Amino acid sequence: MLSTALIVDNDIRYTKQLKLELENSLDLNCTLTSDYEAAESVTDLNFDIYLIRRNKENIRLINILTSHSKLVIILTNSDDDKVIEEIVSYGATDYIVTSNRNDKIDINVIKRIMKNSTFKVMVVDDSELVLKKLSYVLDSQNLKNIGFLDGEEAWSYLNNPDSDKIDLVIVDYKMPKMNGYELTLKIRSKFNIEHLPILILSAVDNPNTISKFLRAGANDYIPKPFVHEEFIARVSNTLSMLSLFNEVKNMANTDYLTGLNNRIYFYSTVPKILIRSKRNKEPLSIVMIDIDNFKLLNDKYGHSVGDKALKQVFIILKESVRESDECIRFGGEEFLIVLPNCPHYKAMEVMQKATKNISSSILTVDDKIALNITISSGVTSHIDELDKMIACADAYMYKAKEKGKNLVYSGE
């Protein structure tokens, strides 16, 4: 993650505004200098990103930094074709046009470069020279990347559960063993277009070939030889769309109040866990949880206190289970926990500990009233159809309430 920046510019008013915006909006620790020689002397401090005014005095500094693969943003008053060609020739990461000083400081380029560190790109091309060139360009955009010389190696990597997650595939068309079209078909047989975008990179300029790739599931097409600016723009746009899709998906799958996954997420994810458990003959436990006397709590103290109780319960539940377990807000004051590869006795132990921790915690109201919250839980580990397992855990949970609440029950 980027945390430090050096700004080299003799426009003190602009750089102070830029520094303030970067520190407040992006939490970047910025150092300012207007003196070229002073800037050279501090490069050994290894700033994460450099923002440098385009002028004759700074060209040497820019070249030194880019030759050491530093992230360099050029500040320029113009973005005409000649200027862009010059900036590209430096090997700079990007540029910011600063001519309209009365407008709000534009930090979108820096936001994008910082966000890029969360992505990993796979490049597949049978030319080592092309792989090196593309790796250099992707590095300059703060994008992690990995290269393969043929489609078979790339497909093997994508199928390996121990491999790093790939967020974007850039693939050449004509390759030995498995060409780009065949690799695209294989990728789409396993990964949806929204989850793993594919960009085709090819010298073939046949409209029918392009449409064939798009129909096979490619997201976009970049002709060879590619224009530097166009390549970066298409990669950036594709990753922006991926981020937007993930944000919308997270919003749909997440409970706003607690931040836990919700019922929509449950029914899209847990059936796969159940199938895997059956196939691998592994144990699976499901727990239904309800906060005791929640309606009375809301009626007496108000919904804001009820919300605090929900948050307190979910925090303790999350602390009580493994990272691989699924903790869901199922609705109202009900939570549901799915524990893959967890035998019945272990699930009971986990819930008994969680129940004790919740009942011993204190919920403070207006810094005066101290309340104890309790839960009732039902546990089933008898693998069946998903709806039947939920119904069984639910029935056990109501049994726990009948037996006095603040306990864990199972008839198994």
Nearest to 294 by CA among 312, 306, 281: 306
Q: Is the separation of the CB atoms in 169 and 181 below 8 Å? A: no
Residue carrying the six token digits 């449409």: 211
Amino acid symbol at 210: I
Please say whether the dihedral angle defined by the alpha carbons of residues 383, 386, 392 and 393, taken in this order, is positive or negative. Answer: positive
Which residues are within 8 A (CB) of 120 and not within 5 positions of it... i.e. 6 or more apart? 143, 144, 145, 146, 164, 165, 166, 167, 168
List 153, 182, 230, 333, catalytic entry: 333
- C-alpha distances in angstroms, 382 versus 205, 235, 289, 379? 58, 48, 17, 9
* 40 included as an active-site residue: no
Q: Give the other-Cβ count within 10 Å of 299's Cβ.
A: 11
Nearest to 292 by CA among 394, 138, 406: 406
Catalytic annotation, residues: 333
